[in-house]
Amino acid sequence: MILGAIADDLTGATDLALMLAREGMRVVQVVGVPDSADFGDAEAVVVAMKSRTNPVDEAVAMSRAALARLQKAGARQIYFKYCSTFDSTPQGNIGPVAEALMADLGSDVTVACPAFPANGRTVFNGHLFVGRQLLSDSPMKDHPLTPMTNSDLVAVLAEQVSAPVGLIAHDSIAAGAEAVRTQIAEAKGFLILDAITDADLRVLGEAIADLPLLTGGSGLALGLPEAYRRRGWLTGAGEAEDFAAPEGPAVMLAGSCSKATRGQIAHAIAAGVPVLKLDPLAIADGRQTVDAALDFVTAATATPLIYSSADPDEVRAAQATLGRDRAGELVEHFLGDVARSLRDRGFRRFLVAGGETSGAVVTALGVSAMKIGPEIDPGVPWTVSLGDTPLALALKSGNFGAEDFFTKAWTLL
């Protein structure tokens, strides 16, 4: 194994696995800390955690356990994958997890870069942009769990760590990999990396391929396989692996409240997709039940969509009554229960929107590992679970995907 990755949520793990597979690596994605350190002939293993919004101690412990397994499997380099919108709170979990991994690896310097230009995430002078907006002006300011109100990543990360946080600005990246490598060699702690294009990411790939620990979104991995190839670690052109989606009925489940997901839902409704909208308050007081949701799915004449996605005002109202965490958990458990019951009734194809939501659904489905299939939109592939009853799973990061995602995805199977 060359690269061992630890992702703080499931859709993020899939996003990274797709990036590595597309650049020619044999990748396996596992869900949760794997029991064994045997990953067959995988050149990269991405361990998907659900640690983005857990208490800091829990997130650190889970990530360290994953690291130990990846080290045992012989990973040459470790990658901590977090969101391209740097989803975190002043407590963490990006900083504390990264610091713990650094300590375990005996390393005193690492880099941090959430840039993913194909999805509009760029970092310039240490400030994160989402499309043309600063992160703090983007819809991420209203995220239900990790509202992002500061775009200055040096400042954001400095609040979360005890080590110093510096910046390698775009002029250094434009000067090439050697210039970046020199700055890293002279630094201690964390270095935020600017990157505004895929070409920047390829320069960075070459500059960082020998560091023990990398931290970033999936974009930072763009140039790694090529850099590994140059070092002779990765051989072969990386032929696309076979992908056969299991046959069977399908369902779509959305718990993401992102602007992108809400737009995709509106598009699906306009296209005639049968929908059921969930309300956390109605789930809490028993007015909405899993049985009723299953009846809705059974009665649907086309692939149905169940969603709890709501605009920021609705989310705030639900959270004011239930509390932020309970509102989220109610929806996640509900969708997980629905998914499990549908699998038991023969459903084999699941499209899920939202990282936390995907974590809950995939856990409920008992999926422990998956292979990467065709890309639906940047950062979102179809996957197929490994094991006795394979399931086709599309796990969409909240903010990813074109407007027609919920209808287009099915045409790729």
Ligand X SMILES: Nc1ncnc2c1ncn2[C@@H]1O[C@H](COP(=O)(O)OP(=O)(O)OP(=O)(O)O)[C@@H](O)[C@H]1O
Ligand Y SMILES: O=C(O)[C@@H](O)C(=O)CO
* Lookup result for tokens 């300590």: 103
Q: Is 205 in the site for ligand X (CB under 6 A)?
A: no
Q: Is residue 412 within 8 Å of 374, Cβ to Cβ? A: yes
Among 11, 88, 110, 151, binds ligand X (CB under 6 A): 11
- Longest CA–CA span in the chain (Å) reads 64
Closer CB to ligand Y, 139 or 355, in the complex? 355
- C-alpha 127/C-alpha 360 separation (Å) is 32
CA 9-279-89 angle, to 5 degrees, is 35
Binding to ligand X, residues 91-150 (CB under 6 A)? 143-145
Question: Which residues share a beta bridge with 192?
Answer: 112, 167
User: Cβ-closest residue to ligand Y?
Assistant: 12
Binding residue count for ligand X, defined by CB under 6 A: 29
Q: Is 256 in the site for ligand X (CB under 6 A)?
A: yes
Among 238, 336, 355, 373, binds ligand X (CB under 6 A): 355
Closest separation in Å from C-beta 219 to ligand Y: 8
Residues whose CB falls within 8 Å of the CB of residue 61, separated by 6 or more in sequence, listed in order: none
Closer CB to ligand Y, 118 or 282, in the complex? 118
Selection from 180, 173, 136 nearest residue 155 by Cα: 136
Q: Is 327 in the site for ligand X (CB under 6 A)?
A: yes
Among 122, 357, 363, 385, binds ligand X (CB under 6 A): 357
Helix ranges (H only) for 73-136 are 94-105
Binding to ligand Y, residues 307-336 (CB under 6 A)? none
Closer CB to ligand X, 119 or 172, in the complex? 119
**Partner whose binding site includes residue 151, from ligand Y, ligand X, none (CB under 5 to 8 Å by kind):** none
Q: Which span sits near ligand X by CB under 6 A: 110-118, 128-136, 264-272, 350-358?
A: 350-358
Q: Is 51 in the site for ligand Y (CB under 6 A)?
A: no
- C-alpha 94/C-alpha 76 separation (Å) is 22
Q: What six digits make up the tokens of 43?
A: 């050149």
Q: What is the DSSP string of 278-327?
A: --HHHHHTTSS-HHHHHHHHHH-SS--EEE----HHHHHHHHHHH-HHHH
Closer CB to ligand X, 137 or 325, in the complex? 325
Binding residue count for ligand Y, defined by CB under 6 A: 13
Closer CB to ligand Y, 163 or 195, in the complex? 195
Among 24, 95, 355, 401, binds ligand Y (CB under 6 A): 355
Residues whose CB falls within 8 Å of the CB of residue 347, separated by 6 or more in sequence, listed in order: 248, 249, 250, 251, 339
**Distance spanning both ends of the chain, measured CA to CA:** 30
**Partner whose binding site includes residue 303, from ligand X, ligand Y, none (CB under 5 to 8 Å by kind):** none
Among 201, 398, 401, 407, binds ligand X (CB under 6 A): 398
Q: Is 378 in the site for ligand Y (CB under 6 A)?
A: no
Q: Which span sits near ligand X by CB under 6 A: 57-65, 73-81, 192-200, 326-334?
A: 326-334
Q: What's phi and psi for 34, nearest 5 deg? A: -70, 150
Buried b (16+ CB within 10 A) or exposed e, 342-357: bbeeebbbbbbbbbbb
Q: Is 8 in the site for ligand X (CB under 6 A)?
A: no
Binding to ligand Y, residues 70-89 (CB under 6 A)? 83-85
The secondary structure of the chain in percent helix, strand, coil, rounded to multiples of 5, reads: 40, 20, 35
Q: Is residue 37 within 8 Å of 73, Cβ to Cβ? A: yes
**Partner whose binding site includes residue 84, from ligand Y, ligand X, none (CB under 5 to 8 Å by kind):** ligand Y
Q: Is residue 127 within 8 Å of 92, Cβ to Cβ? A: no
**Partner whose binding site includes residue 310, from ligand Y, ligand X, none (CB under 5 to 8 Å by kind):** ligand X
Residues whose CB falls within 8 Å of the CB of residue 129, separated by 6 or more in sequence, listed in order: 120, 121, 122, 123, 135, 151
Closer CB to ligand X, 131 or 346, in the complex? 131
Closer CB to ligand X, 223 or 354, in the complex? 354
Q: Is residue 39 within 8 Å of 28, Cβ to Cβ? A: yes
Q: Interface residues with ligand Y (CB under 6 A)?
A: 9, 11-12, 15, 83-85, 217-218, 355, 379, 397, 399
Q: Interface residues with ligand X (CB under 6 A)?
A: 9, 11, 83, 143-145, 255-258, 280, 308-310, 314-315, 318-319, 327-328, 331-332, 354-357, 397-399
